[in-house]
Amino acid sequence: MTYRAAVREAGLRAALRSVVKREYRDIEAVAEVSFELRAGEVVGFIGPNGAGKTTTMKILSGILHPTVGEARVLGFVPWRRQHDYLKKIALVRGSQPIGGPAELTVMDSLRYQQLLYEVSHADFRANVAELVGMLDLESLLDRQVRALSLGERMRAGLATTLVYRPKVLFLDEPTLGLDVSAAAALRRFVAEYAVRTGATVLLTSHYMADVASLCRRVILIDRSRVRYDGDLNSLATTLSPYKLIKLSMPDRTGIDWERFGELDTTQDLEQEQVSLRVRREAVPEVTSELLRQLAIVDLTVEDPPLDLVIDQFYQAGRR
Ligand SMILES: Nc1ncnc2c1ncn2[C@@H]1O[C@H](COP(=O)(O)OP(=O)(O)OP(=O)(O)O)[C@@H](O)[C@H]1O
């Protein structure tokens, strides 16, 4: 997907000139992105700002027509926007949690969706009852959408989107701006919804907690290309050549840590702890040297935290 974006220099003169003669620049948003999801999978789609995640979601949900390339979801070409397709999928964006007129109450918004998506009365009643329970919406049903808080809007938005039971869900930063407990509640809801309905979910989020709690598989894109597609647990092994050796010892004076590895200062450690970054292949040898030479009380070898690994990966891509 290449966007054609209008550009101009700063200043009033350039602004006036651009009214007569517009200049454009091509922006390649999604280039080498290719993947396949199995029905019922919940997959994390992660990447730094501007990587092309939202553009991919918009293509797959039929909002954007890509400049080149192919996509099929449930056998449909998304950008043909066939009614039968749109009834089976949903795009939920954390930045715009709920659509439709903001003057409506939450219940009216649900009914509006019922008409739009032709949900039978029986299905509507059953789905609303289930969603109201799962999302704790009872007290919000008679409230106007415009007067809801961000977290409440997200819950109401999920209910209005899911009331027609889409089979494929595109969740674009669903926890954006939510507090810790609202984000955790949303994660629980998505996990439970996916299990109950067998929906396929593609989720973008900058919070690794979302991805780690919901997805076994992640697709990592950077600068419009897929850089990793696989098991979340293997991500650290693939992206980072280092492990962390954490050790506890009461007396740490006069030790030249550089002989063993690189001191890692990114972690919150207890007073007696030290964390060393050591290349994976050197871990057995360094560990035995540490134990032989120093009076260590406790030693563990860990993969670096995923957030850190991913951040380092993003930083490396910027250089
Ligand atoms: N409507 C548009 N016109 C021109 N360029 C666009 C448009 N929308 C997005 N882009 C550009 O396309 C690239 C990918 O944007 P996209 O929104 O898909 O990224 P993202 O991975 O979702 O980022 P973020 O994490 O910041 O939401 C960026 O360089 C962005 O500036």
Is it the case that residue 265 has pLDDT exceeding 80?
no
Q: Which CATH number fits the domain that encloses residue 289?
A: 3.30.70
Q: Which domain holds residue 16?
A: 1-30
Total tally of structural domains belonging to the chain: 3
Is it the case that residue 13 has pLDDT exceeding 90?
no
What does the pLDDT average to over 105-111? 96
Q: Is residue 318 part of a domain?
A: no
Is it the case that residue 72 has pLDDT exceeding 80?
yes
Sorted by sequence, the CB contacts under 8 Å of residue 112 that are 6+ apart come out as 100, 101, 104, 160
What does the pLDDT average to over 4-22? 87
Cα separation of 152 and 307, whole Å?
28
Residue nearest to atom 16 of ligand 1 (CA): 52
Residue nearest to atom 7 of ligand 1 (CA): 3
Q: Is residue 252 part of a domain?
A: yes
Cα separation of 86 and 184, whole Å?
29
State whether residue 20 is helix, strand or coil: helix
What is the tens place of the pLDDT at every residue in 109-153? 999 999 999 999 999 999 999 999 989 999 999 999 999 999 999
Is it the case that residue 271 has pLDDT exceeding 80?
no
Ligand 1 contact, 3 CB (< 6 A):
yes
How many CA atoms are closer than 13 Å to the CA of 196, on its beta-carbon side?
A: 13
Element (H, E) at 211: helix 208-214
The pTM of this model reads: 0.87
Is it the case that residue 253 has pLDDT exceeding 90?
no
Is it the case that residue 88 has pLDDT exceeding 90?
yes
Residue nearest to atom 11 of ligand 1 (CA): 29
Of 203, 235, 267, the residue that ends a domain is 235
**In the chain, where does DSSP find H-type helix?**
12-20, 53-60, 83-86, 106-116, 121-135, 150-162, 180-197, 208-214, 235-239, 283-293, 306-318
